Amino acid sequence: MWDTRRNDHRTIRHGAPSRTIPGPDAETGGQPSRRIPVLPGRPVTATTRRFFIENLGCPKNAVEGEGMAERLRLAGYAATDDAHDADVVIVNTCSFIQPAQEESIDRLFHYLNARRTGQKVVAAGCLAERFGDALDKDMPELDGIIGTRQWFEIDRLLAEVERGVRPCWHGADAVADPTFARHAVGPTAYVKIAEGCNMACTFCAIPSFKGAQRSKAVADVVAEVRQLVDGGAREVILVAQNTTAYGLDMAREPGTTRGSSPLARLLEAICAGVPDLPWLRVHYCYPGWVNDDLLETMARLDQVVNYLDMPLQHADPEILRAMNRPRDMRHVADVLARARTLMPDLALRTTFIAGFPGETDAHWQSVLDFMDEVRFDHVGVFTYFPEVGTPAASLGGTVPDRTRKRRQRAAMARQQEISASRTATLVGTTIDVLVEGVAEDDARASGIGGTGARLVGRTFRDAPEVDGFTVFEGTARRGQIVPVAITRSGPYDLFGHQVGFVPAALGTDHPVNGAAPRKRIGLKSLPMAQPR
């Protein structure tokens, strides 16, 4: 696990009593009822209580954070963007790998140290689910702990906190996530189509605390997408631990064949039910389950962007066997070639893990060779971390940290060259861009892109947060999709101007209505400071 007391700065100034009192239902061993009440909007006290949620980790966690916020609003709480003003601060933690766990602990200590008298701090999310007992023991200053399997009972947990109870709710039976009203807060929104995972990758702890896969009903997913588009979303991204396993845990529809992809049927239902959604994107496709039905459906549906995110994790059969991952890389290469045949402008993203136990330089060379062969548009490389309780953590052949980082750097340097050549092919073309905001003044002043760019957005080839930007001159509003003539490219980013835009019409202080600045403008075209 971790040592929560290893740094002096983590001493708590305002601690809660370190007692543990059972939750409200003695019949369930202190766990709350599994029944989810429908709460009317009502004040909690004479003065409305305020809450602040910080979401850490992946988009799936952010969706659960949105669900918690909705539950609290229905219970009469009001959201605030200022943690200091909140009556309760909820840290929606991540537990994917060790750095994510450390970040989650750091944020918990930050809020515990900074909290004012009477303010409550609650740990939620994956760290709370996986290590709830350890948090309960090692961080008695927390006012409550609630895991991912019970996020939708955050209102009941806070009611217990208000009564002076210090609840620790985690480890409940896995159930399907309830639906809740979705509210778009920008041009892009995520929809979680399933929870849990049935795979058994030896390096991954997620199935141990997320449970088996539980897919949402098609109608519920379509309804969520409908709400988000009605609220202004222009791009919806489907996420799950393994999106290609969607629906395999549900009864097969009458008349479907063995090669039919339930995910393909979901894409069809979304496009038919929400025809005014411009961009529909799919993340986290497991390599063994991307078949012709899915690829042909993606190619046929105009709303589904030609973007395939397929985390491979490695390319050497011996290491993939140790990972308990699909190891026929010839088949994977054929699937990717088939995808590019069906969608010639397809953008491919993958991830690899450097330094898995027993990995040699020869094994890692297989990854570099596969990158050269396939020429992915986007690649992320993680260094391996042994996760407590996973089979890989007990394997011999530990790779030194310095070697892991060296291999990571080598792969990212190789990919930077490939990405630069891929983006260069777009110079001279016109491509649609989803406008996300205004380029920062410091990026413009430094001359990044050489265009005096003012707006920033993404093409269909780039997913938010992990891929590149398009920086361009124009007058569009945030959330519009506009054609941009590409005049220059960097290793990851594109530069140009909005079609029909006259540069002289845009002064240096010209605002873009409704646009929000992005802090990472242009950084991906500078020499890399961290793995991408």
The pLDDT of 15-27, averaged and rounded, is 28
What is the assigned CATH class of domain 430-525?
mainly beta
Sign of the Cα torsion 395, 396, 398, 399 reads: negative
Assigned fold of 188-424: pyruvate-formate lyase- activating enzyme (3.80.30)
Task: Tell me if residue 277 falls in helix, strand or coil.
Answer: coil
Whole-number Å distance between alpha carbons of 208 and 205: 6
Residue 237 has pLDDT above 90, yes or no: yes
pLDDT of residue 504: 52
Residue 25 has pLDDT above 60, yes or no: no
| Other CB atoms within 10 A of residue 322 CB | 22
Confidence of residue 29 (pLDDT cuts 50, 70, 90): very low
Upper half-sphere CA count for residue 36 (Cβ side, 13 Å): 16
- Residue 529: exposure state from Cβ atoms within 10 A (0-12, 13-18, ≥19): exposed
Residue 288 has pLDDT above 80, yes or no: yes
pLDDT of residue 181: 87
Residue 172 has pLDDT above 90, yes or no: no
Whole-number Å distance between alpha carbons of 160 and 79: 19
Phi-psi region of 211 (alpha: psi -120 to 50; beta: other; left: phi over 0): left
pLDDT of residue 34: 30
pLDDT for 365-414, tens place per residue? 999 999 999 999 999 999 999 999 999 999 999 999 999 999 999 999 99
Whole-number Å distance between alpha carbons of 354 and 364: 7
Whole-number Å distance between alpha carbons of 51 and 81: 9
**What is the token pair recorded at 333?**
């290469």
Torsion of CA 37, 41, 46, 52, to 10 degrees: 80
What is the assigned CATH class of domain 8-22+38-169?
alpha beta
Lowest mean pLDDT among 28-42, 126-140, 222-236, 337-351: 28-42
Range from 14-18, 294-298, 445-449, 517-521 that averages highest in pLDDT: 294-298
Is 397 or 170 the better-scoring residue by pLDDT? Answer: 397
Contact 242, 197 (CB under 8 A): yes
| β-sheet bridge partners, residue 308 | 348
Contact 121, 111 (CB under 8 A): yes
Q: Please name the residues in contact with 358: beta carbons below 8 A apart, sequence gap of 6 or more.
A: 318, 319, 322, 395, 396, 397, 399
Upper half-sphere CA count for residue 58 (Cβ side, 13 Å): 16
pLDDT of residue 472: 94
The pLDDT of 435-448, averaged and rounded, is 60
Contact 481, 278 (CB under 8 A): yes
Contact 44, 77 (CB under 8 A): yes
Residue 254 has pLDDT above 80, yes or no: no
Whole-number Å distance between alpha carbons of 124 and 56: 10
pLDDT of residue 486: 97
Amino acid at 345: D
Whole-number Å distance between alpha carbons of 532 and 394: 28
Alpha helices by DSSP H, listed for 5-150, are 59-74, 98-114, 126-130, 132-138
Phi/psi for 323 (5° steps) reads -80, -10
Whole-number Å distance between alpha carbons of 143 and 348: 44
For the chain, domain boundaries:
8-22+38-169, 188-424, 430-525
Is 521 or 343 the better-scoring residue by pLDDT? Answer: 343
The pLDDT of 148-176, averaged and rounded, is 87
pLDDT of residue 47: 62
pLDDT of residue 35: 31
Q: Where are the strands (E) in 60-187, listed by range?
A: 78-79, 88-93, 120-125, 144-147, 168-169
Cα 394 from chain centroid?
28
The residue assigned the tokens 């990717």 is: 336
The pLDDT of 206-222, averaged and rounded, is 93
| Other CB atoms within 10 A of residue 130 CB | 27
Whole-model pTM? 0.82
Upper half-sphere CA count for residue 186 (Cβ side, 13 Å): 14
The pLDDT of 165-183, averaged and rounded, is 82
